[in-house]
Chain A
Amino acid sequence: MLKILRERFRQGYRTFPYLKKDPVIAERFRGRPQLPIEPCALDCHACRDACPYGAVQIDQGRVGIDLGLCTFCGDCATACPSGTLTFSRDHRLATRKRDDLLVGPAELQLAAALDERMKKLFGRSLKLRQVSAGGCNACEADINVLGTLVFDLGRYGIQFVASPRHADGLLVTGPVTENMKSALLDTYAAVPEPKLVIASGACAIGGGPFRGSPEVNNGIGDLLPVDLYIPGCPPHPWTTLDGLLRLLGRLERR
């Protein structure tokens, strides 16, 4: 017992005061892309050609990136000869609408809060059922991290539960494989109304690295009504937490 207490003292208090302080993220982390404000003078299309998933779009010299297809590999930035396309360390990426994920030079339209009725229902207590529908398990790993004491998701009233019957919504990862489609739809049907759907990670939004495989569905968009999109491959745990808190209207003044 004494050993346990001594170790507890030595390990210290590690929960991060997220709403009061900005999280420390690795220096080389690739978050929200920073795109040239002016139309790109070079006609090289190197950024667009470097993207394996067609996430980079160029319209009359204006560069845009679809964060729903982007896996944040940074190949476009590496390819850019002028160095005007870069990735910032800003982890805030989640949006409410699929179209908002298409970013240009303008500010990213971050997720707005739920309407008053839904906020009243879920704002202080949100129970989610996670469904893994394909993918590589990295998304699941970094969602599990939210339960550790650094992130301590429970303090915001958000919890992952074991049954869809106990849940207010689904958090889906993976591109939806052929073999998981019916299980996903069954799980959705088992969640009582009103319910939320969160698409977490590049796979769930647009198929991610498996986009185009005949065995997958390129995301959940045509299967379920999505309330929140969380980009990333996988999304950083802070990105997920930021998105969830925005959805619940806990970050409106930020």
Chain B
Amino acid sequence: MSRLKPAQILRNGDSVPLAEVTILEMDAFFTAVKQEAAAQGRVIALFASPAGDEFDLFALIAHDWQGTLALLRTRVVDRYPSLTPELPAVHLFEREIAEQYGVVPEGHPWFKPVRFHRSYSAGDAWGRDQQPLIPGDMDYYRVEGSDVHEVAVGPVHAGVIEPGHFRFQCHGEKVLHMEISLGYQHRGLEPLLQGKPGPATMQRLETVAGDSTIAHATAYARICESLSHTAVPPRAEAIRALALELERLANHVGDIGGLATDIGYLPTASYCGRLRGDYLNLTADICGSRFGRTLVRPGGVAYDIDKDRAEKMSKQLALVTRDTKGALALFFDCPSVLARLEGTGQVAMDDAEALGLVGVAGRACGLAVDARLHHPWGAYIRNFDQAVFEETGDVHARAKVRQREIVNSISWVNQALSTLPDSPLIERPGRLAPESLAVTLVEGWRGEVAHVALTDKQGAFSRYKIVDPSFRNWSGLAMALRDEQISDFPLCNKSFNLSYCGFDL
């Protein structure tokens, strides 16, 4: 089949003047999105941006094995035919566009608010202009029947965790369906970034999801570098990648500990809880903050790892590695642990692909999605060949992906500490190109972090779109719960460990 070529073909970290991006007729746009998706494409972002009284609709479709990103653009007024029935992966993107700008995807089968905030433009897609907005106030999917009951949980949960609301439709102990309603953490981040960069912009990006500070900070820094055509010094790239792998280590190790806690396997639970802190402290050795705050800056990094510090960190890492391997070996050697993990919370590969799952959750279902492999940047270019995939899509697979990535990340950090290239730490970016679009992907520990920025005539952001991996993956958790016992929810939830604030923005 011959393919239309209306798309702008970009790579991770590219920017393009907006004038060069063709504005397609609506029909041609939707046909092109479907064709790109059919040609082994994966929609990574679909978002709107105001254009006078109308709205520009942008779609980005990744062709992973080619390492390219197809950019498509059209213009809509207040409605368009929904893509979701044919392309379920865009279901949340379309709901988000409706909530943000009142543009309605006609025929959307699951048309509900996402974060429960007022529309940025005049109209509300659900006609709530005169009503108070109550988070979680929507029509939930309901199962009727004499023995069916509904369980509602949240927004305030039992543990020290973020707020969110879950509705379970149960038949006895069995969950027929779980629906997730978020938005409680909505801080209005995207509008806060308009008209910037400004002094607080970096910190706002560092706090999109606090456990993914390095990932989001790197994605933002690369947006600035792309728009100002700044070449980042190699030493800075190496330190960024090292910090990203430390972030992965801290969270993966913490998650294995969390799984152990939920199963009641206490040795690994207590060791991993402590070890997670040890990895955070290694990050603090670089920049003073356990979460990597202030390390990544547009143009490079703010802190160096000199020879002495690198040696000290290597020694500490060796100690932590030994303890990590011991804690993991206990966990994965214990038959009762494996029996609890295997077959629980399974997501089929077809479902995962249709919903567009990314990161650990996607790779656990056999999807080959890892931006470090397909869309490498910085220190990962020609340097990364350690992508990890599992096939069973259950809690065990998600734990295994983490276990194997822990081993790989440790060797990456070790290697990086002994081979930091000599160069300056930062090359300050100049002015951002006006009326342009830039896109960056970074593989955070949870999955693919995608940022897209549009600039105005002055080179300030007219629209900044953040796609956290959690935005893609919460639907995966809902699928994992189908036909499981409700008591399996904590374990399944922990195996995804998604971010509420990253979703809520």
Is the pair B185, A162 in contact by a Cβ cutoff of 8 Å? no
Cβ–Cβ < 8 Å partners of B333 in chain A: 3
**CB contact under 8 A between A30 and B203, given known A136-B210, A177-B187, A178-B117:** no
Which residue in B162, B199, B213 is a CB contact (below 8 Å) of A50?
B199
| Chain B 293-335 near chain A by CB (<8 Å), digits 1 or 0 | 1100000000100000000000000000011001101100100
Is the pair A180, B163 in contact by a Cβ cutoff of 8 Å? yes
A61: CB under 8 A from chain B? no
Which residue in A137, A187, A216 is a CB contact (below 8 Å) of B188?
A216
- Which residue on B lies nearest to A78, using beta carbons? B302
**CB contact under 8 A between A137 and B293, given known A28-B284, A144-B160:** no
Which residue in B155, B203, B284, B322 is a CB contact (below 8 Å) of A71?
B203
Chain A proximity of B285: nearest CB distance (Å)? 5
Which residue in A29, A145, A179, A183 is a CB contact (below 8 Å) of B186?
A179
Chain A proximity of B43: nearest CB distance (Å)? 26
- Which residue on B lies nearest to A30, using beta carbons? B288
Within 8 A of A (CB), among B451-476: none
Bound-state CA distance A27–B330 (Å) is: 33
| Chain A 157-197 near chain B by CB (<8 Å), digits 1 or 0 | 00010111000000000110111100100010000000000
- Which residue on B lies nearest to A49, using beta carbons? B199
Bound-state CA distance A137–B133 (Å) is: 24
A208: CB under 8 A from chain B? yes
Within 8 A of B (CB), among A195-239: 208-210, 212-216, 233-234, 236-237
Chain A proximity of B466: nearest CB distance (Å)? 13
Cβ–Cβ < 8 Å partners of B293 in chain A: 71, 73, 233
Which residue in A26, A143, A236 is a CB contact (below 8 Å) of B160?
A143
Cβ–Cβ < 8 Å partners of B322 in chain A: 10
Cβ–Cβ < 8 Å partners of B162 in chain A: 132, 137, 140
Within 8 A of B (CB), among A1-50: 3-4, 7-8, 10-11, 14, 25-30, 50
Give the interface segment out of B59-67, B99-107, B273-281, B367-375. Answer: B273-281
Is the pair A177, B186 in contact by a Cβ cutoff of 8 Å? yes
B135: CB under 8 A from chain A? yes
Chain A proximity of B254: nearest CB distance (Å)? 8
- Which residue on A lies nearest to B192, using beta carbons? A213
Is the pair B188, A209 in contact by a Cβ cutoff of 8 Å? no
Which residue in B203, B274, B284 is a CB contact (below 8 Å) of A149?
B274
A130: CB under 8 A from chain B? yes
Is the pair B270, A209 in contact by a Cβ cutoff of 8 Å? no
**CB contact under 8 A between A138 and B210, given known A29-B284, A177-B185, A183-B163:** yes
Cβ–Cβ < 8 Å partners of A180 in chain B: 135, 155, 163, 184-185
Within 8 A of B (CB), among A47-83: 50-53, 71-75
Bound-state CA distance A233–B200 (Å) is: 14
B151: CB under 8 A from chain A? no
Cβ–Cβ < 8 Å partners of A174 in chain B: 185
B286: CB under 8 A from chain A? yes
Is the pair A130, B267 in contact by a Cβ cutoff of 8 Å? no
B355: CB under 8 A from chain A? no
B156: CB under 8 A from chain A? yes
Cβ–Cβ < 8 Å partners of B203 in chain A: 52, 71, 73, 209, 233
Cβ–Cβ < 8 Å partners of A237 in chain B: 277
Question: Which bucket holds chain B's interface residue count?
Answer: 35 or more
The 9 closest A-B CB pairs, nearest first, are A138-B210, A215-B188, A28-B288, A136-B210, A52-B200, A162-B158, A148-B273, A26-B284, A52-B199
B127: CB under 8 A from chain A? no
| Chain A 117-159 near chain B by CB (<8 Å), digits 1 or 0 | 0000000000000111111111111111101111000000000
Cβ–Cβ < 8 Å partners of A212 in chain B: 192
Is the pair B288, A183 in contact by a Cβ cutoff of 8 Å? no
Bound-state CA distance A148–B270 (Å) is: 7
Is the pair B501, A136 in contact by a Cβ cutoff of 8 Å? yes
B52: CB under 8 A from chain A? no
Bound-state CA distance A177–B115 (Å) is: 11
Chain A proximity of B248: nearest CB distance (Å)? 15
Chain A proximity of B494: nearest CB distance (Å)? 13
Cβ–Cβ < 8 Å partners of A131 in chain B: 156, 163
**What are 7 contact pairs spanning A and B, CB under 8 A?**
A7-B327, A27-B288, A30-B288, A138-B210, A141-B210, A143-B160, A144-B160
Which residue in A27, A149, A213 is a CB contact (below 8 Å) of B273?
A149
**CB contact under 8 A between A138 and B187, given known A4-B330, A73-B203, A178-B117:** no
Is the pair A236, B290 in contact by a Cβ cutoff of 8 Å? yes
Bound-state CA distance A237–B183 (Å) is: 27
Is the pair B163, A150 in contact by a Cβ cutoff of 8 Å? no
Bound-state CA distance A104–B330 (Å) is: 52
Bound-state CA distance A153–B431 (Å) is: 49
| Chain B 142-181 near chain A by CB (<8 Å), digits 1 or 0 | 0000000000000110111111000000000000000000
B30: CB under 8 A from chain A? no
B426: CB under 8 A from chain A? no
**CB contact under 8 A between A136 and B285, given known A11-B323, A142-B290:** no
B116: CB under 8 A from chain A? yes
Cβ–Cβ < 8 Å partners of A183 in chain B: 155-156, 163, 184
Bound-state CA distance A148–B500 (Å) is: 23
Known: A74-B288, A210-B192. 5 other contacts (CB 8 A): A133-B163, A137-B211, A145-B276, A179-B116, A187-B156
B397: CB under 8 A from chain A? no
